[in-house]
Structures are given as C-alpha cells and as structure tokens.
Amino acid sequence: MTRHISRRLAGAGALLVTGALTLTACGGSGFEEPADDAGTGATTELTSSDDALSVLIASSGDAETDAVTEAVAAWSEDSGVAAEVQVASDLPQQLSQGFAAGSPPDLFYLSPDAIAGYAANGSLQPYGDLVANADDFYPSLVENFTIDDTFYCAPKDFSTLALVINTELWENAGLTDADLPTTWDELAEVAKTLTTGDQVGLALSNEYQRLGVFMAEAGGGLVVDGEPVADSAGSVEGLEYVQTHLEDGTFAYAADLGSGWGGEAFGKEQAAMVVEGNWITGALSTDFPDVDYQVAELPAGPAGKGTLQFTNCWGMAADSPNQEAALSLVEHLTSTEQQLAFSEAFGPMPSIQSAASAWTDANPDLAAFLDGAEYAQFPPTWAGATDVVTDLNSQLESLETGDPQQILDDAQSNLEAIAE
C-alpha cells in the first residue's frame, strides 16, 4: 500500500459546486458580421483589437490563483497583449452580471451545466474547433462542451471519481492488496470488514454527483446517449445497492457522520473508504497530512465499470473585442507543458490526451483517476439540468428510508420536461 501523497490537488472538481448561472446575458456579439449557421448570435470570425484581455476564474485556493496568474502573465509578456486575472467571489453571479451589463470578461471558467443557456442566447463565441490542439482533447470532454454539433470552448482540465482507501485502517482490518474490491459484492464485503464502532466502511456525499457512479455501474445514469434514463432498471438497481448498505450500516452519508463532505469524513477517520475525486488529495495533504491512503478504480457493477467526470472550459465572450488574442491565450493555457504545470501546482488532470503519459509518470499513485476517463459519464448539460439535479439531491438525502424507483421516476419526469 502506498504512503500518503503530498501533492496538493484541488482544482477542477471543487469548482463544480458553484450552481446554475442566472442566464440574464445579452445576446449577440455587437459586431457587424454574419451570424453562424447555428443561429447562436456569435460569429465564425474572431474579432481583433489592441484591447487588453480580462480573465475571470473561480479559484480553489492560492495555489490555483498563483498558477493561473503566472501563466497568463507569461503569455502576456511573450505576446505583448496586456491581460489581467480576476478571482471571482461568486463566479456564476459575476459572470451573469457582466453579460447583462454588456461588459463580460473576455475569457472565463465555464461549467457544463451553464453552457446551454449562454449558447442559446448568443453570449458565447464558439471557438473550440479553432484551437490548434482541438483533436487532442478527450472526446468525452469535447462532448461536454458541444451544443447542436458546435464545439464551443476548450476544456481546461478535468477530474473523475475513484475509491480512496485509508491504508492504516485497511491493514488493521487484516486486508491486503489482494482484497482491493473489483465488484459490488467485494466492495460490500470489505465495507463490512472495515465497519467498526469507530468508523463506517464507506462514506459518500448524499448527492447524485457521488451516488451516480452506482447508477452508471448498473447500466443507468441520468442522461445517456442524449436520452433521459433516470428511471431505467440500471439506475434503480444502483440506488438500491447503496440503500441496502446504508441500511446495514456499512455505508454512510458524510453528513450523517457529522462531516461536510466525504473528504472530511475520510480525513477524520470516520470512514475507511470514500468515493471522491482527485481534489481530495489536496484537502488531505493540507488538513489531514498524517492520513495514509491508496486510490483504486471504483469496483465494477452489474453492467461494468462506471464513474463520473467533472470539468470546466475556457469560455469566450461573443462580445470580446479581442477574440484572436483570447484564442492564443487559451492555446497557451491548454498546452501540454502548461497543463502539466497546473496539475503540479493545484491538481487537476490535463484535458489533452498527449499529456496522459507524463501525468501518470508524475502521479503513479493517482492513475486510477485517469483510468476512469475511458468510461466516465458526465452530469447532464441541458438547460435546466442543474435544477433537476438539485431536486434529485434533495430526495437522495433520505434514500435510506425512501423509494429509489419513485425518486428516479420524479427525476425522469423532470428530465423529460427539459429534454432537447
């Protein structure tokens, strides 16, 4: 078993709890150029000027802020184009206000749940296919930011979920590497072995963004191949599996253990295992540096392996007067060298396939997170999907005593109401 990893990892996944953006933006670019064929209001030609660039980010901490600021400054010095990074205190609100006032930032962090609304009202410049390394992005990440066959923006990085195991508690229970669970039955067995009067075997956050892995592993999900499947047999089976082990006490919600999220429950050793993203390693090295752990792929369910992925892209404003420079900056920020530097600084995995080997070499103990990219699902990106997930999460809080079929029937109805 490996010792604890000291690398500070926070980043992409931690930013995905920002919630839905209020879509009050003004449409159109404001330039006398023809709209693109998709009717988004943005154009296929990029604007150019001597204007400085403004970059709005949401930061997981000083490490991320410093890394992005330094990268933008280096590009600015090399290009001769002035650029300033601003850290948002409330990214959705500030971005929405900027669009509404007709003065949005040129570039900004943009989550998948927000892209549909902004694309629909013409606030975004679709530039994804213009990025020099467009073919290098993971296809599933490109899909995250593609609306009506238009690739809008370059994925800046990503995270997946995996099984994080407390090595000391594991070894104290008499378990070895040979016991690492690869199936649901094996996960249930080791969770039972690890459950004592002081700790639960496995902790989870009480939300789709964690429980969804079990839905995927049973062949379900929320939206698969463009179709809502929340009430499918696989989705129900996934929640029933979790419910069974919440009832027998071998699984527990972090909130029920008195913790704010799975990483805290794991760090406090309230749980021997947790389903979390690679941002947990940064939190552990900062807040619980003495906790040793190993990362493994999530065990396969009846339908095979499953996990969820989380990402943001570099959104570009349709109103930006200097889109050519903005594109150049995006190409710098998503280059192999720069993405590996970001990973070293604050933890997210590079969004480009060409960086995979170098990232794995630098982070061999975290390879399970990157392995999950091959089969990861992602939360639905339709306009209104955030509200659907929020409603679902409110019902999942009482999953232990609830009816999984009814919970997912409600989610299915809500998804069908917003289906594109």
Confidence of residue 2 (pLDDT cuts 50, 70, 90): very low
Q: Write out the H or E segment, with its range, that includes residue 316.
A: strand 309-316
Q: What percent of the chain is predicted at pLDDT more than 90?
A: 81
Task: Please give the Cα distance from 245 to 163 (Å, whole number).
Answer: 16
Q: Looking at residue 13, what is its pLDDT? A: 38
Phi, psi for 404 (deg, rounded to 5): -55, -40
With b for 16 or more beta-carbon neighbours within 10 A and e for fewer, the 205-225 pattern comes to bbbbbbbbbbbbbbbbbbbbe
Q: Residue 368 in contact with residue 295, Cβ under 8 Å?
A: yes
Average pLDDT, the chain: 90
Domain residue limits, the chain: 12-159+310-374, 161-306+383-418
CATH architecture of the domain 161-306+383-418 equals 3-Layer(aba) Sandwich (3.40)
Q: How far is CA 138 from CA 20, 135, 157, in A?
A: 24, 8, 10
Decide whether 12-159+310-374 matches 161-306+383-418 in CATH topology. yes
Q: Is the pLDDT of residue 303 over 90?
A: yes
Confidence of residue 37 (pLDDT cuts 50, 70, 90): very low
CATH architecture of the domain 12-159+310-374 equals 3-Layer(aba) Sandwich (3.40)
Q: Looking at residue 42, what is its pLDDT? A: 54
Q: Looking at residue 22, what is its pLDDT? A: 33
Average pLDDT over residues 198-212: 97
Look at 101 and 285; give whichever has higher pLDDT. 101
Helices (H) and strands (E) in the chain, counts: 16, 13
Q: Is the pLDDT of residue 24 over 50?
A: no
Q: Residue 416 in contact with residue 410, Cβ under 8 Å?
A: no
Per residue in 391-405, pLDDT (tens digit) is 999 999 999 999 999
Per residue in 329-347, pLDDT (tens digit) is 999 999 999 999 999 888 8
Q: Is the pLDDT of residue 326 over 50?
A: yes
How many CB atoms sit inside 10 A of residue 275's CB? 26
Q: Residue 410 in contact with residue 391, Cβ under 8 Å?
A: yes
Using DSSP bridges, classify how beta strands 200-204 and 271-277 pair: parallel, antiparallel or unpaired.
parallel
Q: Looking at residue 368, what is its pLDDT? A: 97
Q: What percent of the chain is predicted at pLDDT more than 70?
A: 89
Which has the minimum average pLDDT: 18-22, 202-206, 253-257? 18-22
Q: Record the pTM.
A: 0.84
Please name the residues in contact with 345: beta carbons below 8 A apart, sequence gap of 6 or more: 8, 63, 64, 66, 67
